[in-house]
Structure 1
Amino acid sequence: MVQLSRLAASLLVPAGVLAAPAAESKLQRRFDGNGFNNWSEGGSNIKCVNGPGGSFTADWNSQGGFVCGKGWNGQGDRTITYSGTYNATGPGYLAIYGWTRNPLIEYYIVESHADLAPNEPWTSKGTFTIDEGTYEVFTATRVEKPSIEGTRTFEQYWSVRQEKRVGGTVTTGKHFQQWAQLGMNLGTYDSVIVAVEGYTAQGGSGSAGSAAIEIE
């Protein structure tokens, strides 16, 4: 069982921040550097920096929540290849992170993490093995919390990788298929990013980032 920790609020992907969907050629599928996302609530020592191509860095030593990363508008069943780093204490993770609408769902495919142990009603739905790893699936309900549609009540879907890694390939459609078999249905894809997120209510620190991101 993966130990999960409380996250103070759902983290947002502001409208208009992400790059347009990737074009058809292999070269154009490589991240063009325009979809940088940087959001925080509180904390005075959180630094997220956009880099060239699919690179970004995050450094923090503070209380407060943040998320930063790079991604695309839309995007459903895709293969995302990334490489990066992640070294942290306190609640936080490196994940493929996104939203859908109708229904409004916030979803996470967690590749690596520090502390994850929520004091809220998470429900384990079992495990499955894909992309050379085993993931445990969780659901949670956020009641009147911030979302891409304002303050709403919505579901969270989580796949948490048991063998932590900071680089590899994530086939999002395989997760979506497993979730659907559990009755966890997504809506219309709004956005997806390779993200670093942390919530350090008790204080935490770390450094993380991506060196490259590619989508197919």
Structure 2
Amino acid sequence: MVHFSILALATSLLVPGVLTAPAAEPAVAIQRRFDGTAFNNWSEGGSNIRCVNGPGGSFTANWNSKGGFVCGKGWNGQGARSITFTGTYNATGPGYLSIYGWTTNPLIEYYIVENHADLAPNEPWTLKGNVTSDGGTYDIYTATRINQPSIVGTATFQQFWSVRREKRTGGTVTTPTHFAAWKALGMNLGTYNSVIVAVEGYTAKGGSGSSGSASITVQ
């Protein structure tokens, strides 16, 4: 389970390039765009993390760190849609390649994990069921984050997870299928805040960090 979250939605336009977050002051940069090219780059103070905003729906990530980060591209104010992406992903340690987003009222952080390295080491996830979608089977989990950073500040909130058994780095993800499966299990989302194709790495409770590289294009 992730030990960090996107803290806020900035309204400034980010030009293509590299955003580096200082250790003492996590940074957020999001383009307020609705066409799949909104770039999100957040770090909680790790070193050797480099996320680069490319043209259109493309971005790259390279990291070797014990700090946490999330970077990716997608849509603001949306969530229920089909998302197609391609690329490469190679990682070790805790981390994911996922469809990632938030809702408000209720405040939910959600993941549809397409590929991953170490999956939630030592984390208290609760298995709720599974769903078949887009040629694969996903196990559904919930988790609770207590007094942790969120898009509305420090808060207690639920995380919803769909984790694909057949790992892949590319394809189409039909998010409404997951949302309907979650709802049938009593896992209710709120108002969509954002959804992105995200690469994420973090430090596990045991202290191990992550490393890897990714090059992703959102169609």
Q: TM-score, normalized by length of structure 2? A: 0.86
Alpha-carbon distance in structure 1 between the residues aligned to 2:143 and 2:104: 17
**Closer/same/farther in 2, CA of residues 123 and 149 from structure 1, 3 Å limit:** same
Sort the Cα spacing of 1:134 and 1:181 in 2 relative to 1 into closer, same or farther, 3 A. same
Aligned partner of 2:213 among 207, 210, 214: 207
Q: CA 1:70–1:10 in 2, change beyond 3 Å: closer, same or farther?
A: same
Question: Which of 8, 14, 35 is the matching residue for 2:3?
Answer: 8
Structure 1 residues 173 and 141: alpha-carbon distance in aligned structure 2, compared to 1, 3 A threshold: same
Considering only aligned residues, what root-mean-square deviation do their CA atoms show, in Å?
1.4
**Aligned partners of 1:55 and 1:209 also within 8 Å:** yes
- The answer to whether residue 113 in structure 2 is matched with residue 113 in structure 1 is no
Query: Do 1:7 and 1:118's aligned partners in 2 also have CA atoms closer than 8 Å?
Result: no
Alpha-carbon distance in 1 for matches of 2:107, 2:39: 22
The gaps in structure 2 that reach 5 residues or longer are 12-29
1:55 paired residue number: 58
Matched AA of 1:77 = A
2:148 alignment partner in structure 1: 145
Partner of 2:190: 187
Give the deviation of 1:209 after TM superposition: 2.5
Shift of 1:116: 1.0
Match of 2:39 in 1: 36
2-structure distance, mates of 1:108, 1:102: 17
| 1:104 aligned onto 2:103 | no
Residue 177 of structure 1: which of 180, 190, 200 is its match? 180
Does the 8 Å contact 2:49/2:65 carry over to 1? yes
Shift of 1:43: 1.6
Shift of 1:94: 0.4
Secondary structure, aligned partner of 1:96: strand
| 8 Å Cα contact 2:103/2:189 also seen in 1 | yes
Q: Which has the higher contact order (CA 8 A, sep 6+)?
A: 1
Distance 1:13 1:172 in 2: 23
For the structure 1 residues 90 and 11, does the alpha-carbon distance in structure 2 shift closer, same or farther, using more than 3 Å as the test? farther
Question: Would you say 1:20 and 2:33 are equivalent positions?
Answer: yes
Partner residue, 1:93: 96
* 2:120 match: secondary structure: coil
SS of residue paired to 1:47 = strand
Distance 1:74 1:192 in 2: 8
Q: Which residue is 1:27 aligned to? A: none
1:43 and 1:202 map into 2 onto residues whose CA distance is 13
Unmatched 5+ residue regions in structure 1? 1-5, 23-30
Greater than 6 Å deviation, 4+ residue runs: none
Cα contact 1:18–1:70 (8 A) shared by 2 = no
What is the deviation of 1:127? 1.4
Equivalent pairs, count: 198
